[in-house]
Copies of this chain bind each other. A is one copy, B any other.
Amino acid sequence: MEKVGSADLIRRETKKAQPLTRSPSNAQEHILAERKRREKLTQRFVALSALIPGLKKMDKASVLGDAIKHIKYLQESVNEYEKQKKGRTLESVVLVNKSQLVLDELHKLSPSFSDGNRDYSSSNLPGIEVRVSGKVVLIKIICEKQKGNLIKIMGEIEKLGLSITNSSLLPFGPTSDISIIAQKTGDFDMKVEDVVKSLSYGLS
């Protein structure tokens, strides 16, 4: 990366009396190496141009320019996707809080809680719904497909003092729709809100 500019013309004249411009045997070797270098260069140029969609001009300059543009575009896309990803997990927390708010509002009226989320992005993460009928509890969860998720959920449920009597897992796209029936045991006296909260917390 040394810029000689146009002032080296003079230098070249004066430097004519160098010991040897080039060793005669090495001369050919030099031009061969350079040839190989250029070859590799152009090869990479075509390889790069093949990765750029909708490339009109096959100019080296245009290839470089469009490559730059394309990389910027891709990077931007990736950043947006990542942003959305981050947003999702955050929404999940909000979602839980919201549901609890709803539950508190409807506290006496209906314990049924749907994971309705008004925000545009947050699609997943546990939608939790708990219903109670006498001593029977119905728990419905929609969560990411993950190894051991069901076991973890069941463990959490039984930890709460519930005895599972029925369970069902249906694969639904990238998520699993899990329904579980359980019986209250002994001194179980949790409110549904607490059940939802405990399960949400247990699945993080």
Q: Which residues of A contact B (CB under 8 A)?
A: 1, 37, 40-41, 44-45, 47-48, 51-52, 58, 60-61, 64-65, 67-68, 70-72, 74-75, 77-78, 81, 84, 87-90, 92-93, 96-97, 100, 108-118, 120-124, 127, 129, 131-134, 136, 138, 140, 166, 168, 170-175, 177, 179, 181, 192
Which of B112, B114, B129, B171 is close to A181, meaning CB atoms less than 8 Å apart?
B171
Are A111 and B115 within 8 A (Cβ)? yes
**Residues of chain B with a CB closer than 8 A to A170's CB:** 138, 166, 168, 179, 181
Are B140 and A114 within 8 A (Cβ)? no
Known interface pairs A112-B111, A113-B111, A168-B179; A134-B173 also in contact (CB < 8 Å): yes
Known interface pairs A48-B64, A64-B44, A68-B47; A100-B114 also in contact (CB < 8 Å): yes
Task: Report the bound CA distance from A136 to B70 in whole Å.
Answer: 35
**Residues of chain B with a CB closer than 8 A to A132's CB:** 113-115
Which of B44, B58, B115, B168 is close to A96, meaning CB atoms less than 8 Å apart?
B115
Task: Report the bound CA distance from A93 to B92 in whole Å.
Answer: 13
18 additional A-B residue pairs with CB within 8 Å, beyond A71-B71, A133-B173: A48-B64, A48-B68, A87-B174, A88-B173, A90-B120, A92-B123, A93-B117, A96-B117, A109-B110, A110-B113, A111-B112, A111-B115, A112-B113, A113-B133, A114-B134, A115-B132, A133-B175, A138-B170
Task: Report the bound CA distance from A63 to B52 in whole Å.
Answer: 16
